[in-house]
Chain A
Amino acid sequence: MILNLKKLTLRSVNEKLQNIDRKKNKRDFIISNPEGNHAICAGLTENIDVTIKGHVGYYCAGMNQNANIIVDGNVGTGVAENMMSGKVHVKGNASQSAGATAHGGTLIIDGDASSRCGISMKGIDIIVKGSVGHMSAFMAQSGNLVVCGNAGEALGDSLYETDIYVKGKVKSLGADCEEKKMSKKHKTKLKELLKKAGSNIKPEQFKRYGSARKLYNFNIDNVSNY
């Protein structure tokens, strides 16, 4: 079913996708003419497929559960923010805070993501085929961030237990983030994540970064780091 945002209101499109007709059980949707609108496909809960044909604005696919959403264009701030499950695939570039605070699901970005990608992520897997901007994975708590390009300044600042994999250069690491050993377990996991994103880059080409766990609890010796 094609939903044309030039003819329909954003609210009616989101309502339709949030309350699909179970009797008809049509689960394939195309959204045309998104024209940079915000909050497209926010709050979906069903296992449906949605393809958005064009560039979208902020918070696209926010709070997603179960839905499989493809954006054939660029996305604005906070794509898939607070996603719980499902999959979001961005074919272009993403603005800042992609996958912010998301608990689960998979976010794939074919292009670059700008600053604060995966900020405070809580279990989501994010695979960026390009590069990420500064402060990515800031205060990230759980899940995986895979970057096939380079990472900007202060990667993984104040990191908890997210695993970060970067193939290219890291401009600088944030407070309490350090390079870690890549064990067999991590290579297997990374291979699985890359496969999900349709990439056949070898896990051996990546470096793994994680928390040094020195800032978990307040320690007066670390006061200059806070």
Chain B
Amino acid sequence: MCGIVGIYLKSKKFEKSLGGMLSKMLVSMESRGPDSAGFAIYNSDKNKIYKYSVCLNEMSFEKFKKEIKKKVKFTTIEKNSDHVILKSNKKPNKMLPILEDFSTISLVGYGKSIEIFKQVGKPSNIVKKFNLNNFSGTHAIGHTRMATESAITTDGSHPYSTGEDECLVHNGSLSNHNNLRRKLKKRGSKFSSDNDTEVAAGYISDSLKKRNLKKTLNKGLNDLDGFYTFIAGTHSGFAVLRDEIACKPAVIAETKDYVAISSEFQAMAHLPNVNNAKIFEPEPGIVYSWGK
């Protein structure tokens, strides 16, 4: 199972209500994934500040704040439940090694526009815990997980982010992820879990160094073996791909103001003007993308 959802706003009209829209979508997909939930929300990347999304796990906020201040001078540290967003002009190549020194925390994503929050528990509790309703942004992706491939942990939750402003959610399972993980590790990719989706995210990040998202996903049709509906996000938009057997569902609703995707239509039933939207299922093996 698992539920996946995403919204890409074509106009500024709903930017302030993006969090609220995504929140309802995630909650209605709770039946498909009650184990854990997470979301990636993209906001303006006009300034050059990097945002590092960190899950503190067992570490207290005060301790983390004290420790990190010794190492880096931050502009801000924002606490949101057991996650923090560090905002800094320090580039990822300098910052990631510093964060890696903290053995107990998990870096869940970084970039100029992305913020990621994910945790174990029911989606309805997760959206409340992180106050998703209060978020605004340009596009967002979410996931509700029914664990099959690896343990129910924060590291096993989606979205997975393995590159700057990149993220991936996945409904399905991959069968060649162990081989692919070994290959990608040799090429320098790093993984923090045994999860199959993290490997797909790593594969996409690795390929994005050479080609655009659409070409990357088309290449993935040959290299990723298994069942999947993917939503892959970048700073400017997202792309959707279903494997060629297409056992894993997806439905898209497009209006002049937004594009929404979800595993089931019921997740979109509350969206504004959805009954007049163009509603269709993405065809198997075809990459659909919005944004640049």
Contact of A95 among B275, B281, B283 (CB under 8 A): B281
Query: Which candidate, B78-86, B169-177, B189-197, B265-273, is the interface stretch facing chain A?
Result: B265-273
Answer whether residue A149 sits at the interface, using C-beta atoms and an 8 A cutoff. Answer: no
A55 lies within 8 A of B246 (CB) = no
Answer whether residue B121 sits at the interface, using C-beta atoms and an 8 A cutoff. Answer: no
Answer whether residue B291 sits at the interface, using C-beta atoms and an 8 A cutoff. Answer: no
**Bound state CA distance, A134 and B284, in angstroms?**
9
Q: Which residues A46-82 have CB closer than 8 A to chain B?
A: 54-58, 73-74, 76-77
Answer whether residue B251 sits at the interface, using C-beta atoms and an 8 A cutoff. Answer: yes
Query: Which residues on A sit within 8 Å (CB–CB) of B265?
Result: 36, 55-57, 74, 76
The chain A residue sitting closest to B262, CB to CB, is A36
Contact of B266 among A36, A93, A114 (CB under 8 A): A36
Give chain B nearest CB distance to A118 CB in angstroms: 16
Query: Which residues on A sit within 8 Å (CB–CB) of B275?
Result: 54-55, 73
In this complex, the interface size class of chain A, counting residues with CB under 8 Å from chain B, is 20 to 34
Answer whether residue A211 sits at the interface, using C-beta atoms and an 8 A cutoff. Answer: no
In this complex, the interface size class of chain B, counting residues with CB under 8 Å from chain A, is 10 to 19
Chain B interface, >50% SS class: loop
Q: Which residues B179-196 have CB closer than 8 A to chain A?
A: none
Query: Which residues on B sit within 8 Å (CB–CB) of A134?
Result: 246, 284
A76 lies within 8 A of B269 (CB) = no
Query: Which residues on B sit within 8 Å (CB–CB) of A37?
Result: 266
* Contact string against A for B residues 251-279, beta-carbon threshold 8 Å, 1 for contact and 0 otherwise: 10000000000001111111000010001
Answer whether residue A15 sits at the interface, using C-beta atoms and an 8 A cutoff. Answer: no
Query: Which residues on B sit within 8 Å (CB–CB) of A76?
Result: 249, 251, 264-265
**Bound state CA distance, A58 and B268, in angstroms?**
15
Knowing A77-B249, A95-B249 are in contact, say whether A36-B268 is a contact too (CB < 8 A). Answer: yes
* Contact string against B for A residues 115-144, beta-carbon threshold 8 Å, 1 for contact and 0 otherwise: 100000000000000000110000000000
**Bound state CA distance, A115 and B283, in angstroms?**
9
Answer whether residue A96 sits at the interface, using C-beta atoms and an 8 A cutoff. Answer: yes
B269 lies within 8 A of A55 (CB) = yes
Answer whether residue B290 sits at the interface, using C-beta atoms and an 8 A cutoff. Answer: no
A36 lies within 8 A of B284 (CB) = no
Contact of A93 among B246, B268, B270, B279 (CB under 8 A): B279
**Bound state CA distance, A57 and B266, in angstroms?**
7
Answer whether residue B102 sits at the interface, using C-beta atoms and an 8 A cutoff. Answer: no
Answer whether residue A35 sits at the interface, using C-beta atoms and an 8 A cutoff. Answer: yes
Query: Which residues on B sit within 8 Å (CB–CB) of A36?
Result: 264-269
A55 lies within 8 A of B279 (CB) = yes
Query: Which residues on A sit within 8 Å (CB–CB) of B279?
Result: 55, 74, 92-93
A-B contact pairs, 16 of them (CB 8 A): A36-B265, A37-B266, A54-B275, A55-B265, A55-B275, A55-B279, A56-B265, A57-B264, A58-B264, A76-B249, A92-B279, A95-B281, A115-B246, A115-B284, A133-B283, A134-B246
Q: Lowest 4 A-B CB distances belong to which pairs?
A: A36-B266, A36-B265, A35-B269, A36-B269
